[in-house]
Amino acid sequence: MPALPPHLAMISLEFFLQQCLIGVTNGALIALVAMGYSMVYGIIGLINFAHGDLIMLGACLALSLVGASGLVDAGPTATWWGVVLLLLACGLFCGTLNMAVDRFIYKPLRNASKLAPLVSAIGVSFIFMNVGLFWLGPADRSFPELVPPTNLFSGDTLQFTYQDLLVVVVVVLLMVALSVLVRSTRLGRAMRAVSQDPTAAALVGVDVDRVIAATFFIGGALGGAASVIYSLYIKTIGFQMGFQNGLYAFTAAVLGGIGSIPGAVVGGLVIGLVRSLASAYVGERWTGAIVFAILIVILVFRPEGLLGRRTREKV
Amino acid sequence: MRTNTNQQKSLAESAAEIPLLDIDRLTVRFGGLTAVSELDLEVKKGSIVSLIGPNGAGKTTAFNTISGIYEPSVGTVRFQGRRLEREMTASTVWGIVIIGLITGLFVATAAVDVDRLWLAVVKRGVATGQPFVIKDVFSRLRGYFRAELAIDQFSGKWRVVSADGAEVLAIKRTREEAQSLRNSLQAAVTARRAGPGTVPDSSDLVKSAEATPGIKSEVLDRLAAGKVRIRRRGWIGLFTGTLLGMTGALAVWRRGRRSPEVVARAGIARTFQNIRLFSNMTVLENVLIGLDRTIGGGIVGMLFRTPDNRRREREANAKALESLEFVGLASQANRLACQLAYGDQRRLEIARAISTGAQLVLLDEPAAGMNPSETIELANLVQRIRQRGITVLLIEHHMNIVMRISDRVAVLDYGIKICEGSPTEVKNNPKVIEAYLGSDATT
Amino acid sequence: MSNSGELSQRQQAWVLIKDHWDVSALLVLAIAPLGVPALGGALGGQFTTLFIYSILALGLNVMVGYTGLVHLGIAAFFGIGAYVTGILTVPMYPFQIGFLGAAIASIVVAAGIGLALGAPTLRLRGDYLAIVTLGFGEVVKVTLRNLEQITGGMKGLNPVPPPGAGVKLGGLDVGLSFAIDPRWFYYLSLGILAIVVIAMRRLENSRLGRAWMAVREDELAATAMGISATRVKLSAFAMSSAIAGLAGSLYAASLSTTADPNAYDFNRSIMVLCAVILGGLGSIPGTLLGVGILVGFDTVLAPWADSWIQQLDINPTGSSMLSFSGWRLAIFGVALVLVMRLRPEGLVPSRRVAAELHREEEHAAITKGF
């Protein structure tokens, strides 16, 4: 088959598949962040504005750890173990930080009006950004390439590298772990109970505060993992990255049905695909507008999101 | 004359036969739980009907369904013989069509590249020093969509440019030269668009065009293809956008078809079991919200405090005070609703409900948390509401009120109506006793 | 005796000023340029900016304060106003209709776009609106940047002519006066601010304002009383957008450029939101005070503190950690968190919102007590 001329390459099947692959990988990353939003929203109805910036701080820590450990020059096996350790360290860090923020900032506002925690979350996001500014400096920093960008497919029509594989594998593993946790553990059951009705859950002996703290920890830990994956995959981090990522991830959470974890995954994949296809076929600069238009369209037809349940107001 | 009155009379009679509120086989399910099951209930105009039953019997769910907060899973609720749904009127259809067209135009503008459209319509005129007139807008728009070539003046020279002026094909010294080159190029482009062979003399034109230095046939091909592409994009954008806008508007309209607002406007007002006042507004303002629809007047009147606006507000205030007087809260008119005592808050809810001009009010446990003397007062209030010609549907646990003032009583248990009748009938019904006291009590 | 009498007189005067803070402030601000020559210079320009932000914040207050809807993209409407004015007045384009027409067009376009955005989204849950407005803010910024032929891309549109360009009033060239003497803009924006304050007051106590508040207090109860919550929210959205558009129009005229699209990003939206929350939701004096504090922080306090730190010579490496403005985000963040924790009703609370926020606390205390 003769090679297509460049201006027709866009309509080839390979090109399309390639964009889909990129979209799925990006979407997995977005889904990971979106799950953090969705979990916190599901349990206390708070749009955790600081989640994107929490991930930025996770990326800061990852960069510092990589710099301090000299992981860049280590052999391949050591690097893989290093990545696992990074995931654990950043997960622990972000989870603990998220839990601490909940304990000291959101918890006293549980009975306040709905606006109060939201505004506080915006405030926390500012504080995080300032910390990130001091940590990274005002300019973007590049993250060392720990995972080789070796293509897994033979030939160069399709590109799917170890980096892509890492993203997909980690996200799938975390997703499975999370759904097992929510479905079949005591904590998961308590979480579902609290998200349905905190008062009733408290009455039957669930320690609501602990469940909420655990949710914040898990959401934050997912964010920490996301920060490592993001750094390894995108390889550029900066103190303002939280806002953009947060925006896409939150859009994904809303799109899939906020509060629903499978919804966050579906929303993330949809947004990842839309982004990559739009930037390939329409132009990079219009991707934001297209994602937004799709969000509006979906909300018009399904206000509860793709997989969300319709909520009934208690009267 | 005579026949007319007869007709009116028969109309009135048939109206009397239709119950004010007619609930027919109403079933409400939440997931697997059936909160109300096949409830039949008729409420006659001018009566007081009570809905009683143990906690969790589905009384409030029935209320919420009547007032449009929940959708019935099965069954219908009719008010004055009509379903409580927004009707599709001509203006709804027009609204949907207009929203669709606006969306379509928006999508089409985005699809044909608004940036270049702007170049073609606005900026080129500036470049040639032409004044901006509406007539030109249309001809330039047409030129853009046909991907026509144009000439313009630029620093003393004349140029042959694409319709949006973004691409300069040639520069000539005089207008005539530019014009003739433009014409031949245009013909070449047109010919290419039509395809070789369809226009016999196209090759000549193309040759002459290709003879012009700097213009390659690929450029002409591209220009030719551009027209089809831009128009196709425009039409597709317009079509999909309109379709999307119309279906979207329709979906949104359908969702809001049966809402508390529609029910309230039809003439049913309600109070809430756990008081839902506008707690940080004054007592008077709470009632004014109930009166809102009757006040009328536009935003201009509000901004300029026109005499008309002031008159409307004055009248509304008087009406609101009258409602407050009716429930005995006139002296508290300027306090915040949250500062009222519990019983007063319940009465304020009643005042707010009747001020909407409703024909039917649904009172959800109005005497909850009241002491015996307040309860008696409340019973009198409900009777006075009826005297105003307002029908009352009541949920209440205080049996002395229910038995004293109700014309009819319906008993719900586990979502099923187990009994309906006059207070005495209900009081002596063994099923009711069983529901309230358990089966042991009857044996 | 005389002392206490004097005190009570002083107290009376204080009460008088407090009750008529609006007229007093307006009088002071109107007279100030006569007595303070600096207002004829850069300071006058800063005050103009302050007034414009006040107008913007009052617009946002309609939505966040009165109606209780979180709006995170007000800057988009500000930008739309600025760009509509730019397009309709710059010499680059053939319209050049002058400031008044452009301002009206800005209001209409901003309100129209607000309606178009609100119609499909205002029926959604309140939280969704936050994300929609946030996303819209980003999209507008990026769109303004991308439509280079229309908006001039990153360069923006300029020069936006001053109001009254080419108009001669008794031998006085109005446009020229606006261009050279900041006091003209000072008075123009002060006048518009005063009009907006009056309009807000009237709306607050009208049918529409009541409906806004009812929807904020309890949307379900409001709809059950026959209020069309969607329409009420739409009207609030449109009103917010319209006022933001007006502010944007004034902004472009006062800067004589639309500035680049990044001037209308999330930071600006959040700053205005902070001002409204800090000052007091739903409270006109609170909103004005909030804007004063925030703009004062950015234009007065931060530069002063920075130069002071520089004089101390403790920052030889130029580290941002040791400059005051390096802490700007953190200071805003901490302020937001503290205000929400300690004084959620803001510095100058509106009587109503204060009651609401505290009622819920009391309610919680009572239920805990049981």
Query: By the 8 A CB rule, do B25 and B39 touch?
Result: yes
Inform me whether the pLDDT recorded for C231 exceeds 70.
yes
CA distance A216 to chain B (A): 29
Whole-angstrom CA distances from B86 to B257, B264, C112, C125, C289 are: 5, 12, 26, 22, 45
| Residue C310 lies inside a defined structural domain of this protein | no
* Residue owning tokens 């806002």: A243
Angle between helices C42-61 and C229-255 (to 10 degrees): 170
Reported as a single tens digit per residue, the pLDDT across B294-327 is 888 889 999 999 999 999 999 999 999 999 999 9
What chain B residue is nearest to C223 in terms of C-alpha separation? B261
A162 neighbors A152 (Cβ within 8 angstroms): yes
Q: Is residue C295 part of a domain?
A: no
What's the whole-number average pLDDT of chain B? 84
Q: Which of B30, B69, B251 sits opposite A300 (nearest CB)?
A: B251
Residue A256 has pLDDT above 60, yes or no: yes
The token pair that represents A191 in the structure block: 């979480």
Which pLDDT score is estimated for B194? 59
Query: Strand A141-142 and strand A236-237: pairing?
Result: antiparallel
- Given CB atoms, is A297 within the 8 Å cutoff of chain B? yes
- Give the Cα separation of A57 and B371 in Å (integer): 59
A315 touches chain B (CB under 8 A): yes
Q: Residue B19: CA atoms inside 13 Å, Cβ hemisphere, count?
A: 16
> What length is written for chain A?
315
What does the pLDDT read at residue C2?
A: 46
CB contact under 8 A, C337 and A296: no
Do A225 and A31 touch, CB atoms closer than 8 A?
Answer: no
Please state, in angstroms and rounded to a whole number, the distance separating the CA atoms of residues B390 and B351: 13
pLDDT at B56: 79
| Domain span including residue C143 | 21-265
- For residue C321, tell me if it sits in a domain: no
Using CB atoms, which residue from B60, B248, B272 is nearest to A300?
B248
- The total domain count for chain C is 1
SS3 label, residue B29: strand
Max distance between CA atoms of chain B, in angstroms, equals 115
pLDDT value, residue C110:
97
Q: Position A215: which residue type? A: T
Among chain B residues, CA nearest to C96? B132
In terms of residues, how long is chain B? 443
Least confident of A116-125, A224-233, C164-173: C164-173
Adjacent-strand bridge partners of B151 = B160
Nearest to B168 by CA among B183, B180, B153: B153
- State the average pLDDT over residues B254-271: 91
User: How much is the pLDDT for C356?
Assistant: 52
Residue A98 pLDDT class (50, 70, 90 cuts): very high
> CA-to-CA distance for C231 and C239, rounded, in angstroms?
12
Q: By the 8 A CB rule, do B24 and B323 touch?
A: no
How many Å apart are CA B117 and CA B123, to the nearest integer? 9
Give tens-digit pLDDT for C156-194: 998 999 888 777 877 788 888 888 888 889 999 999 999
CA B154 – CA B152 distance, rounded (Å): 6
Lowest mean pLDDT among A225-234, B381-390, C31-40, C277-286: C31-40
Residue C316 covered by a domain: no
Cα angle, residue C226 at apex, residues C222 and B310 outer, rounded to 5°: 90
What confidence tens digit (pLDDT) does each residue in A133-165 have?
Answer: 999 988 899 998 888 888 888 777 788 888 899
Residues β-bridged to residue A141? A237
The arithmetic mean of pLDDT across residues A214-223, rounded, is 94
Burial class from Cβ neighbours inside 10 Å (0-12, 13-18, 19+) for residue C136 reads buried
CA atoms of B292 and B108, how far apart (whole Å) = 41
Q: In whole angstroms, give the CA distance from residue A276 to residue A282.
A: 10
Looking at residue A227, its pLDDT comes to 95
- pLDDT category, C278, cuts 50, 70, 90? confident
Q: Please tell me the distance in Å from C57's CA to the nearest CA on chain A.
A: 16
Chain-chain contact of A300 with B30 (C-beta, under 8 angstroms)? no
With contact defined as beta carbons under 8 Å apart, do A58 and A64 qualify?
no
- Give buried/exposed letters for A301-312 (b at 16+ CB in 10 A, else e): eebbbbbbeeee
Q: How far is C106 from chain B (nearest CA, A)?
A: 19
Partners of A278 on chain B (C-beta within 8 Å) are none
Taking each helix axis from N to C end, the angle separating B202-211 and B217-255, rounded to the nearest 10 degrees, works out to: 110
Better-predicted residue by pLDDT, A193 or A9: A193
**Residue B214: other Cβ atoms inside 10 A:** 9
Q: Where are the alpha helices (DSSP H) in B356-389?
A: 372-387
Contact flag C218-B276 (C-beta cutoff 8 Å): yes
CA distance A251 to C130: 11
A314 interface with B at CB cutoff 8 Å: no
pLDDT band of B15, cuts 50, 70, 90: low
Report d(CA A7, CA A232) in Å as an integer: 32
Q: Which domains does chain A have, with CATH numbers?
A: 6-151+158-301 (1.10.3470)
**Residue B121 has what DSSP assignment?**
I
CB distance B264–C225 less than 8 Å?
yes
Does residue C322 carry a pLDDT above 80? Answer: no
pLDDT, one tens digit per residue, over A6-63 is 555 566 888 899 999 999 999 999 999 999 999 898 888 888 989 999 999 999 999 9
Token pair recorded at residue B365: 């446990």
Model pLDDT, residue B127: 67
A134 with C142: Cβ contact below 8 A: no
Nearest Cα residue to B71 out of B252, B250, B251, B260? B260
Residue with tokens 């005579």: B2
Confidence of residue B215 (pLDDT cuts 50, 70, 90): low
Q: Which residue in C202, C218, C228 is closest to B261 by CB distance?
A: C228
Nearest to C202 among B259, B281, B302 (CB): B302
> Taking 80 as the threshold, does the pLDDT of residue C251 lie above it?
yes
A315–B248: do the CB atoms touch at under 8 Å?
Answer: no
The answer to the question of residue C290 being in a domain is no
Q: Using an 8 Å Cβ cutoff, are A125 and A242 in contact?
A: yes
- Distance separating alpha carbons of residues C298 and C295, to the nearest angstrom: 5
- Is the CB of residue B37 less than 8 Å from the CB of residue B12? no
3 state DSSP class of B152: strand
Query: What six digits make up the tokens of C268?
Result: 């600006």
C148–chain B Cβ distance below 8 A for any pair:
yes
pLDDT confidence of B85, banded at 50, 70, 90?
confident
Q: Is the pLDDT of residue B199 over 80?
A: no
Indicate if the pLDDT at residue C355 is higher than 70.
no
User: Which stretches of chain C are assigned E, i.e. beta strand?
Assistant: 168-169, 172-173
Residue B120 pLDDT exceeds 60:
yes
The region of weakest confidence among B188-197, B248-257, C263-272 is B188-197
What chain B holds in terms of domains, given with CATH numbers, is 42-70+258-441 (3.40.50.300), 93-247 (no CATH)
C91 upstream amide cis, omega within 30 of 0:
no
pLDDT value, residue B434: 81
Residue B210, pLDDT > 50, answer: no
C339, part of any domain:
no
The whole-angstrom separation of Cα B335 and Cα B280 is: 9
Residue C79 lies in a domain: yes
**Arithmetic mean of pLDDT, C186-213:** 94
Tell me the mean pLDDT in the region B109-137: 80
A310 Cβ under 8 Å from any chain B Cβ: no
Report the distance separating Cα C130 and Cα C134, nearest Å.
6
pLDDT, tens only, B153-180: 777 788 888 777 777 788 888 888 888 8
Mutant choice from B278, B306, B363 vs C, greatest count of C C-beta within 10 A: B278
Q: Report d(CA B99, CA B104) in Å as an integer.
A: 8
**Is residue C362 very low, low, confident or very high in pLDDT (cuts 50, 70, 90)?**
very low
Given this model, what pLDDT does residue B346 score?
93
- Of A216, A256, A298, A307, give the one whose Cα is nearest residue A30: A256
Scored b (16 or more CB within 10 A) or e, B34-70 reads bbbbebebbbebebbbbbbbeeebbbbbbbbbbbbbb
Strand order of the sheet with strand B82-83?
B33-43, B21-30, B74-79, B82-83
C120 in contact with B at a CB cutoff of 8 Å? yes
pLDDT given for residue A274 in this prediction: 95
In this prediction, residue C7 carries a pLDDT of 62
A80's CB contacts (< 8 A; 6+ apart) are none
pLDDT digits (tens, 9 = 90+) for C301-319: 888 888 888 887 776 666 6
Q: Work out the pLDDT band at C50, boundaries 50, 70, 90.
A: very high
Q: Mean pLDDT across the stretch C139-157? A: 91
Rounded to whole angstroms, the Cα distance separating A162 from A165 reads: 5
> Mean pLDDT over residues B119-145, rounded?
79
d(CA C85, CA C98): 9
B157: which strand partners?
A: B154
CA count, 13 A, side-chain hemisphere, B184? 18
d(C-alpha B382, C-alpha B396), whole Å: 12
Question: In whole numbers, what is the pLDDT of chain C averaged over residues?
Answer: 86
> Environment class of residue A284 by beta-carbon count within 10 Å: exposed (0-12), middle (13-18) or buried (19+)?
exposed
User: Does residue A237 contact residue A59 with C-beta atoms inside 8 Å?
Assistant: yes
Residue B202 pLDDT level (bands cut at 50, 70, 90): very low
Residue C369 pLDDT > 50: no
Distance CA A259, CA A44 (A): 10
User: Which amino acid is residue C17, in one-letter code?
Assistant: I
Which uninterrupted H or E stretch holds B412?
strand B408-413
Mean pLDDT estimate for chain A: 88
| pLDDT value, residue C354 | 54
Model confidence band, residue C364 (pLDDT cutoffs 50, 70, 90): very low
What are B341-358's pLDDT values in tens digits?
Answer: 988 999 999 999 999 999
Taking an 8 Å cut-off on Cβ atoms, the answer to whether B255 and A313 are in contact is no
**How many whole angstroms separate alpha carbon B91 and alpha carbon A19?**
45
